[in-house]
């Protein structure tokens, strides 16, 4: 039997044993046998090849990886058998709350990986779900801080096979991380303390045979995406995996399929950690081309997503910072970064959450009541570097290079904590847990004077002007009908337009009161912010 179980009859055909070897491929094939030995010079030579591949394309194929073939074959076959179970049985492993337990079974079309990328581009994704079903398992170590494993009892050897495979894949990841450290001129064990209670996940993707199904137009086996964590160790059953070095002008290249090998690719966290010196490259899995559905058949893949400890602080690796290349990213906690990405690909991210600037000169407070929420805050003075299309949780600096200069900060707010930010600041939120409930309000006229506001330095005067501008769009002298739309009729909960009496009577009264209040607080000698 081959690694991919191809000799076990039609049912085993989640695999193909041959496809273009692609010797001219962008993705190199690296023999990593030396990483399991004691010869330091040989290890260094392998590390250099790996470092080069990480820099140039973020993908490489490894042979002589040290994972026994029996371990792979057993997992492969048990996984095929699991996906052959009736849907109702598999569905008992669907997670009830992705934010708390991102593991288990996901139905065909349940995930669309390109969503993470569409968020980067400030677009709502129009495509349908990927043409795959999945099963995913997290770490066993309770210190990792993830929910206990819940594995199917059928097929009978599934749990044991997956647990063994996971351990082997993790050991391979550790060998590769030592090589990564060498390639980055760090001590060999540099990654060890960040990975001693790692939250790596093992996932299988089952792509059904397209010869026997109606393939919806525009659908794809696995949409274009980058992976999230440190590295992915991928065992796939045949052709279809493609990479594009360029995100802007996408140009797809086949990843060579090599029997008994693993494809290794870097995730976004590694790119960020290395200050973009290494790449996390766009990739996808295409549908079989016309007339090839039968020969390509069903596709199975086992992907081990290596991740750091949940609480590991990811601060730019010192050897990746230079005088002409300052740190591009703020430090972030690995677990939070991962959850943001995971929720986005499952369509659970708040679709309204993009970087926005508060439109009226009132400062904001918000108390977090339930769930954790992460905030990006940027002062008004940074506006020239900002745009609403920037995903501040995973910025694409090739599209928004100026964002690297913006002085912004990030913070996570937990239940019972209160966040405050001054008028006109930019903010971008991400719910780290569901549900996330908070209570918010505005503060008017009590701030110090500001020179960045506009015509008047007093925030309450500017706030009045901002509201009157809104009023002018709705009410005109001598015309009794409102001239602006009431969006609260379309979206329950949205703010309705101001009433005429608010614009004409209450607001001027308020302005007088705010001015008195501000004067009482600050006197004539107000402090400039």
3-state secondary structure of 222: strand
Residue 62, H or E segment: strand 59-63
Q: Which residue has the tokens 């706030």?
A: 463
State which residue, 158 or 304, has the beta carbon closest to ligand AKG.
Answer: 304
Q: Which residue has the tokens 């966290």?
A: 269
Q: End-to-end CA distance of the chain: give it in Å, rounded.
A: 73
State which residue, 285 or 419, has the beta carbon closest to ligand AKG.
Answer: 285
3-state secondary structure of 479: strand
State which residue, 67 or 224, has the beta carbon closest to Fe ion.
Answer: 224
Two tokens at 27? 């993705």
Alpha helices, H only, 38-104: 40-56, 69-83, 87-91
State which residue, 132 or 272, has the beta carbon closest to ligand AKG.
Answer: 132
Work out whether strand 104-106 and strand 222-225 pair parallel, antiparallel, or are unpaired. unpaired
Which residue, 129, 83, 142, is CA-closest to 346? 129
Burial class (CB in 10 A: 0-12, 13-18, 19+), 149: middle
Which residue, 424, 450, 446, is CA-closest to 528? 450
3-state secondary structure of 142: helix
Q: Is the peptide bond before 50 cis (omega within 30 degrees of 0)?
A: no
Residue of 183, 201, 202, 303 that binds ligand AKG (CB under 6 A): 303
Q: Which of residues 95-124 bind ligand AKG (CB under 6 A)?
A: none
Count of residues near Fe ion by CB under 5 A: 1
State which residue, 210 or 358, has the beta carbon closest to ligand AKG.
Answer: 210
Q: Supply the minimum distance, in Å, between the C-beta of residue 283 and Fe ion.
A: 6
Q: Supply the minimum distance, in Å, between the C-beta of residue 140 and ligand AKG.
A: 21
Q: Supply the minimum distance, in Å, between the C-beta of residue 262 and ligand AKG.
A: 11
Q: Supply the minimum distance, in Å, between the C-beta of residue 243 and Fe ion.
A: 10
State which residue, 130 or 466, has the beta carbon closest to Fe ion.
Answer: 130
The answer to whether the beta carbons of residues 425 and 369 sit under 8 Å apart is no
Q: Supply the minimum distance, in Å, between the C-beta of residue 226 and Fe ion.
A: 7
Provide the β-strand partners of residue 374: 412, 430
Determine the Cα–Cα distance for residues 500 and 476; give it in Å rounded to an integer: 9
Two tokens at 193? 């303390």
Residue of 53, 172, 177, 301 that binds ligand AKG (CB under 6 A): 301
Q: Supply the minimum distance, in Å, between the C-beta of residue 314 and Fe ion.
A: 20
Q: Which of residues 216-255 bind Fe ion (CB under 5 A)?
A: 227
Count of residues near ligand AKG by CB under 6 A: 10
State which residue, 227 or 268, has the beta carbon closest to Fe ion.
Answer: 227
Two tokens at 438? 């908070």
Residue of 120, 227, 391, 447 that binds ligand AKG (CB under 6 A): 227
When asked if residue 234 is in the footprint of ligand AKG (CB under 6 A), the reply is: yes
- Give the CB-nearest residue to Fe ion: 227
State which residue, 13 or 205, has the beta carbon closest to ligand AKG.
Answer: 205
Residue of 177, 181, 220, 241 that binds ligand AKG (CB under 6 A): 241
Residue of 222, 362, 406, 444 that binds ligand AKG (CB under 6 A): 222
Q: For 16, how many CA atoms within 13 A lie in the half-sphere containing its CB?
A: 20
- Give the interface segment with ligand AKG, choosing from 233-241, 270-278, 324-332, 508-516 (CB under 6 A): 233-241
Burial class (CB in 10 A: 0-12, 13-18, 19+), 49: middle
Q: Supply the minimum distance, in Å, between the C-beta of residue 493 and ligand AKG.
A: 36
Which residue, 293, 391, 276, is CA-closest to 329? 276
Which residue, 178, 161, 173, is CA-closest to 198? 173
State which residue, 256 or 498, has the beta carbon closest to ligand AKG.
Answer: 256
Which residue, 32, 58, 44, is CA-closest to 230? 58
| Per-position x/- string for 251-290, each x denoting binding to ligand AKG as judged by CB under 6 A, each - no binding | --------------------------------x-x-----
Q: Supply the minimum distance, in Å, between the C-beta of residue 284 and Fe ion.
A: 8
User: 234 contacts which partner out of ligand AKG, Fe ion, none, CB within 5 to 8 A by kind?
Assistant: ligand AKG
The answer to whether the beta carbons of residues 428 and 350 sit under 8 Å apart is no
Q: What is the dihedral of CA 61, 67, 71, 75, to 10 degrees?
A: -30
Residue of 136, 200, 236, 287 that binds ligand AKG (CB under 6 A): 236
State which residue, 283 or 342, has the beta carbon closest to ligand AKG.
Answer: 283
Q: Supply the minimum distance, in Å, between the C-beta of residue 228 and ligand AKG.
A: 9
Q: Supply the minimum distance, in Å, between the C-beta of residue 58 and Fe ion.
A: 11
- Give the interface segment with ligand AKG, choosing from 234-242, 308-316, 447-455, 478-486 (CB under 6 A): 234-242
3-state secondary structure of 483: coil
Binding residues for Fe ion, per CB under 5 A?
A: 227
Binding residues for ligand AKG (CB under 6 A): 205, 222, 227, 234, 236, 241, 283, 285, 301, 303
């Amino acid at each position: 039997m081959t690694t991919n179980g191809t000799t076990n009859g039609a049912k085993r055909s989640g695999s193909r044993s041959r496809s273009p070897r692609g010797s001219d491929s962008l993705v190199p094939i690296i023999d990593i046998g030396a990483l399991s030995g004691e010869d330091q010079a040989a290890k260094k030579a392998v590390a250099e090849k790996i470092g080069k591949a990480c820099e140039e394309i973020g993908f490489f194929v490894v042979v002589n990886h040290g994972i026994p073939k029996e371990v792979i074959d057993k997992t492969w076959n048990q996984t095929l058998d699991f996906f052959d179970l009736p849907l109702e049985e598999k569905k008992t492993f669907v997670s009830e709350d992705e934010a708390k337990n991102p593991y288990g079974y996901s139905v065909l079309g349940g995930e669309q990986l390109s969503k993470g990328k569409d968020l980067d581009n400030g677009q709502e994704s129009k495509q349908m779900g990927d043409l795959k079903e999945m099963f995913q398992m997290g770490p066993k170590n309770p210190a990792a801080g993830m929910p206990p494993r819940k594995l199917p009892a059928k097929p009978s050897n599934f749990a044991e096979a997956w647990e063994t495979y996971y351990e082997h894949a993790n050991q391979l990841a550790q060998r590769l991380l030592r090589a990564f450290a060498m390639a980055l001129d760090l001590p060999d064990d540099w990654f060890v303390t960040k990975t001693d209670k790692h939250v790596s996940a093992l996932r299988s993707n089952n792509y059904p045979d397209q010869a026997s199904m109606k393939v919806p137009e525009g659908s794809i086996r696995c949409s274009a995406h980058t992976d999230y964590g440190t590295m992915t160790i991928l065992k796939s059953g045949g052709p279809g995996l493609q990479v594009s070095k360029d995100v802007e002008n996408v140009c797809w290249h086949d990843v060579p399929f090599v029997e008994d090998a693993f494809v290794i690719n870097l995730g976004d966290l590694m790119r960020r950690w290395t200050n973009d010196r290494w790449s996390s490259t766009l990739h996808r899995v295409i549908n079989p081309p016309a007339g090839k559905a039968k020969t390509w058949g069903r596709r199975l893949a086992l992907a081990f997503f290596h991740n750091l400890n949940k609480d590991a602080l990811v601060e730019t690796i010192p050897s990746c910072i230079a005088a002409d290349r300052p740190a591009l990213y703020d430090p972030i906690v690995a677990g939070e970064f991962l959850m943001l990405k995971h929720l986005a690909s499952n369509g659970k991210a708040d679709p309204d959450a993009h970087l926005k600037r508060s439109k009226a000169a009132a400062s904001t407070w918000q108390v977090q009541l339930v769930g954790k929420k992460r905030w990006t805050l940027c002062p008004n003075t940074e506006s020239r570097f900002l745009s609403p299309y920037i995903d501040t949780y995973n910025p694409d600096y090739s599209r928004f290079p100026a964002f690297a200069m913006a002085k912004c900060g990030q913070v996570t707010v937990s239940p019972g904590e209160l966040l405050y930010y001054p008028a006109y600041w930019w903010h971008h939120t991400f719910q780290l847990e569901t549900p996330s409930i908070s209570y918010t309000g505005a503060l008017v006229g009590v701030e110090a004077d500001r020179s960045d506001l506009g015509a008047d330095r007093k925030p309450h005067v500017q706030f009045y002007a901002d509201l009157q501008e809104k009023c002018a769009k709705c009410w005109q002298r001598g015309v009794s009908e409102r001239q602006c739309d009431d969006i609260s009729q379309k979206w329950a909960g949205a703010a309705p337009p101001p009433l005429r009496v608010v614009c004409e009577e209450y607001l001027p009264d308020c302005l007088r009161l705010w001015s008195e209040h501000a004067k009482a607080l600050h006197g004539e000698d107000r402090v400039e912010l």
